[in-house]
Amino acid sequence: MKRSLLGAAIAATLAAAPLSAYAADGADMAEVKRMILEMKQQHQQQIKALEERVQKAEARAAAAEEKAQSTEGKIVAVEEQVQAKPRVGDNSFNPAISVVLQGGYASYSEDPEDFHLEGMPLGGEAGLQDEGLALWETELTVSANVDNLFYGQATIGMHTHDGETETDVEEAFVDTLALPAGLGLRFGRFYSAVGYLNEKHTHAWDFADAPLAYQAFLGGQYRDDGVRASWVAPLDELFVEVGAETLRGDNYPGGGNSGDFGAVQNLFAKVGGDVGQNNSWQLGIARMDIDVDDRSAGGHAHDHGGDSPSFDGDSDLTALDAVWKMDLGGERALIFQGEYFWRDEDGQVSLSEGAGDALFDYDGDQDGGYLQGIFQFNRQWRAGLRYDHLSADNDLTMISNTTGESDDDIFEESGYQDGHDPHRWAAMVDWSPSEFSRLRLQYARDDSREDTDDQIYVQYIMTLGAHGAHQY
């Protein structure tokens, strides 16, 4: 660097001199040499001053780092003391509390009370939102580390159903924090790890309603009381998780009156990773075995003054899911997501009419799923398209019928008789002025029944307080 500056100075000096300077006498040449020497000395002084400034800056940085390390050590010591002996009134032990306000307006061209899926009677919380303005799934969530071993979370849900406001405990579970080798344990009430959407709260979904497959196979969304054990592989570039759940089996697709712990067994696995810097993916599979005892489902028998049909038997559900996320740059993104379900059920269905009872064998083979794409234009605007499809192939054999109606009429009223394959197209656009608020408009052309139902939703989602991030 010194040589380059000196050379530039000499070149500039020589270039500025007239040609006659090359013929000047000794005095003129001595003057030129003196000027060069003076410039060289000035340059060396500047270099020395810069070097001294660098040395001082490095000394200050080293002192600051030493001080930071000392402070960090004190903080760690204080944290260890706090963990060993919590102090009452310390704000660090306050739990995270959040409220998600969710509701909207729903309009249907067909009677929402007549909504059904042929060959797959609905159970749980399946069905359409109340027509008109209504409170949808609004949640109060409280979560915190219990101590260095456990984490706890509870979610209270409120919504309107048939004009009445209902409140229930959506989730109340405990996670372990200190098990070795990537092992984890969850116990309490929680959403099962079957499928991709099921574990996510409804306000994190990309559409205003559940896919038809969730309505048919999971009662809208499946949660239950039980235990989950999981293991995450210690891999750097690949996410691999396997786990098993043992659940009580009270809720659909389990039996409503069983209460036998372990009536539902679920095995699941998830694998995912990155492709370059702008793409990520995840695949999942789950196998759920259900011992069903007196599962009530919505048929048409109650429309004729009878009870809902009740199923006793075995139900096996297999779920596959796939997600691909693309970062297009400039706050733009594209997400493809799909799930496929296949269910095999075998048992007996009973129902009562005003004049008597009916009992028939039921062997069901059903499948369906959805595929959707979401395009994010920028940080605030998104649009999406979703397609749903279901199909049922059920064998029904009457055992006894004292109702006075024909066997075919009983099969139809039960809801287990297949025929029309439900399908639906849905399109949505939503606006999120911030990470805490979202407004959504959705239209669906629903051919779940033989007559097309034009469905319109206007939805709001507002988050108050500290709400944790959702899974991938």
Dihedral, 179, 181, 186, 190 alpha carbons, nearest 10? 150
Whole-number pLDDT of residue 86: 41
Residue ending a domain, among 84, 109, 142, is 84
**How many domains is the chain partitioned into structurally?**
2
Q: State both tokens at 118.
A: 């042929």
Claim to verify: residue 38 and residue 110 sit in the same structural domain:
no
pLDDT of residue 160: 85
End-of-domain residue from the set 84, 113, 143:
84
C-alpha distances (whole Å) from 306 to each of 295, 351, 410 are 16, 7, 11
3-state secondary structure at position 450: coil
Claim to verify: residue 22 and residue 132 sit in the same structural domain: no
- Note the pLDDT of residue 89: 39
The model carries a pTM of 0.78
Task: Assess whether 409 and 315 both reside in one domain.
Answer: yes
Question: How far apart are alpha carbons 19 and 182 in whole angstroms?
Answer: 82
With tokens 């297949």, the residue in question is 418
Do 327 and 378 reside in the same domain of the chain?
yes
**Among 84, 110, 132, which residue terminates a domain?**
84
Estimate the crossing angle of helix 26-84 against helix 2-16, to 10 degrees.
Answer: 150
- Report CA dihedral (197, 153, 145, 233) to the nearest 10 degrees: -30
The CATH number linked to 126 is: 2.40.160.10
Distances (CA, A) of 260 to 103, 209, 251, 263, 291: 35, 31, 12, 6, 9
pLDDT at residue number 7: 45
Q: Looking at the structure, do residues 59 and 138 belong to the same domain, yes or no?
A: no
Do 322 and 258 share a domain, yes or no?
A: yes
Residues 201 and 57 in one domain: no
Residues 176 and 224 in one domain: yes
For the chain of 472 residues, list the mean pLDDT of each consecutive stretch of 10. Answer: 41 41 46 59 64 70 57 44 40 79 96 93 91 94 94 93 87 96 96 96 96 96 96 94 95 75 94 94 97 78 60 96 96 97 96 87 96 97 98 96 91 90 97 96 96 97 83 78
The pLDDT score that the predictor gives to residue 81 is: 41
Separate counts of helices (H) and strands (E) for the chain: 4, 17
Whether residue 349 contacts residue 362, with contact meaning beta carbons closer than 8 Å, is answered with yes
pLDDT given at position 14: 39
Query: Is 240 contained in some domain?
Result: yes
89 in any annotated domain: no
Residue found by looking up tokens 């097309």 in the block: 452
Per-residue model confidence (pLDDT) at position 164: 84
- 7 shares its domain with 151: no
Q: Does the residue 199 lie in any domain?
A: yes
Provide the 3-class DSSP secondary structure of residue 215.
Answer: helix
